[in-house]
Amino acid sequence: MIFLDTTKSSDARHRSGLTRVTTRLAAALGEAARPARWEAAKRRFLADNDGVPGRNDWLLTAELFSEDERPGLSEFIARKSCRAAAIFHDAIPLRFPHTTWPKSVARHPGYLKLLASFDRIWAVSRASRDELTGYWRWLGLEQTPPIDVLALGADFDGAPRARSPRSTSPTLVCTGILEPRKNQTFIVDVCSHLWRSGLHFELHLVGRVNPHFGEPVLRRVREVEREFPGRVHHHEGVSDEKLAQLLSSARATVFPTRAEGCGLPLLESLWRGVPCVCSDLPVLRENADGGGCVAVPQDDTEAWENVLRRILLEDGFHAELVRSAHARPLPSWLDSAGALRAGLGA
């Protein structure tokens, strides 16, 4: 049996990428997994009806944690009372500490080291896998668990994949928490240049505001809203249904991010048959190179303007991207769950 760690996701108020991974895996694993939570007082994971993972069971976690947050967790993993597997997302808090939540920055070194005590690890990308193995080498750890790469599901709301072109409006959608790493200020400035040149389209920003670092981004969005009324819209805390509605008629999605572990918004856009214009990062190229995407140099204003102008004005260029998005293979969360079950023998 797989005991799936839902300690944080079951109480989450926001639809973050981390939360999506756990909730969609829980749905895809179905009866093969039991939700379990870390009980600090008992220093172990418990499922409903006081179910406890045994030696032949697996604990699977896609959450972030530390010994400070879960006292006794290190001892629990070391006891090997059950087998333990984890899904690793990224080392972004160590790479970008100046724009990452202070709590995440403080947690991450201990979290990365604790992962070395697990029995199996799945990284969400090749780039993410290399970050983790590189950190372990830097620590000088001699014994570490095997790491595979897990393709995350593109079907964010469980809806069937789009298989045919649909009518679009001159609309761009950008999904992600408002913060410097997600780079919304850059895309808003790019769109401002295009609006001044006479192009007519709308930009929809979907995501809550980072309480530590998001205020300057939001201020810039508000400035542009005043300069171009009705052109830029910020949606905070939207449901999956609302996101699906925004994507249903979008011309393309834009993903100008500066760092990712995987880049779920890119995959989720393609699942709906919507082309994605993204930063030319190695981690994003792992999925972007399969078709339906245009990778553009990060923070290159002229290059982004040129690509977005083509997306908005050239129907043939846009149609070819849509065709590629529909034709390429994409993983579902059932595929992700199947790969995990096969790897765990569960």
Q: How confident is the model at residue 14 (pLDDT cuts 50, 70, 90)?
A: low
Q: Which residues contact 184 (CB under 8 A, 6 or more apart)?
A: 174, 176, 178, 205, 217, 220, 221, 256
Q: Which residues contact 263 (CB under 8 A, 6 or more apart)?
A: 125, 255, 257, 278, 283, 284, 287
| Residues 215 and 282 grouped into a single domain | yes
Residue 252 lies in a domain: yes
- pLDDT of the residue at 303: 98
Buried b (16+ CB within 10 A) or exposed e, 178-188: bbbbbbbbbbb
| Residues 109 and 235 grouped into a single domain | no
pTM of the model: 0.94
| Residues 306 and 286 grouped into a single domain | yes
Tens of pLDDT, residues 157-215: 899 999 887 788 999 999 999 999 999 999 999 999 999 999 999 999 999 999 999 99
Residue 98 lies in a domain: yes
- pLDDT of the residue at 13: 65
| Residues 241 and 273 grouped into a single domain | yes
- pLDDT of the residue at 32: 94
Residue 242 lies in a domain: yes
Tens of pLDDT, residues 105-164: 999 999 999 999 999 999 999 999 999 999 999 999 999 999 999 999 999 889 999 988
- pLDDT of the residue at 10: 75
- pLDDT of the residue at 340: 98
| Residues 146 and 203 grouped into a single domain | no
- pLDDT of the residue at 11: 73
Judge whether 153 and 331 are in contact, CB under 8 Å: yes
The single residue listed with the structure tokens 């990062």 is 281
| Residues 122 and 188 grouped into a single domain | no
Judge whether 336 and 25 are in contact, CB under 8 Å: yes
Asked whether the predicted pLDDT for residue 49 surpasses 90, the reply is no
| Residues 14 and 118 grouped into a single domain | yes
| Residues 338 and 300 grouped into a single domain | no
Burial zone of 160 (CB within 10 Å; 0-12 exposed, 13-18 middle, 19+ buried): exposed
Q: How confident is the model at residue 337 (pLDDT cuts 50, 70, 90)?
A: very high
Average pLDDT for 20-26: 94
Q: Which residues contact 119 (CB under 8 A, 6 or more apart)?
A: 83, 84, 85, 145
- pLDDT of the residue at 153: 97
Asked whether the predicted pLDDT for residue 16 surpasses 80, the reply is no
Radius of gyration of the chain (CA): 21
Q: Which amino acid is at 47?
A: A
In the chain, what's the furthest Cα-to-Cα distance? 65
With CA atoms as reference, report the closest residue to 205 among 193, 222, 264, 216.
222
- Find the range with the poorest average confidence among 7-11, 43-47, 99-103, 181-185: 7-11
Q: How many domains does the chain have?
A: 2
Residue 128 lies in a domain: yes
Residue 164 lies in a domain: no
Q: Which residues contact 172 (CB under 8 A, 6 or more apart)?
A: 191, 201, 202, 203, 204, 250, 251, 252, 253, 254, 308, 311
**Percent of the chain's residues with pLDDT above 70:** 99
Higher-confidence residue: 160 or 14?
160
- pLDDT of the residue at 238: 84
| Residues 178 and 300 grouped into a single domain | yes
Judge whether 58 and 83 are in contact, CB under 8 Å: yes
Which CATH number is 211's domain given?
3.40.50.2000
| Residues 212 and 268 grouped into a single domain | yes
Handedness of CA 116, 153, 83, 51 (dihedral sign): positive
- pLDDT of the residue at 167: 80
- pLDDT of the residue at 166: 79
Higher-confidence residue: 51 or 173?
173
Using CA atoms, how far residue 227 sits from 88, 180, 220, 223, in Å, is 42, 22, 11, 6
Asked whether the predicted pLDDT for residue 15 surpasses 80, the reply is no
Determine the Cα–Cα distance for residues 15 and 23; give it in Å rounded to an integer: 10
Residue 161 lies in a domain: no
- pLDDT of the residue at 318: 97
| Residues 221 and 319 grouped into a single domain | yes
Residue 288 lies in a domain: yes
- Average pLDDT in the chain: 94
- pLDDT of the residue at 24: 95
Average pLDDT for 85-90: 98
What's the gap between Cα 99 and its chain centre? 17
Residue 159 lies in a domain: no
Domain that includes residue 44, residue range: 2-153+332-344
| Residues 252 and 338 grouped into a single domain | no
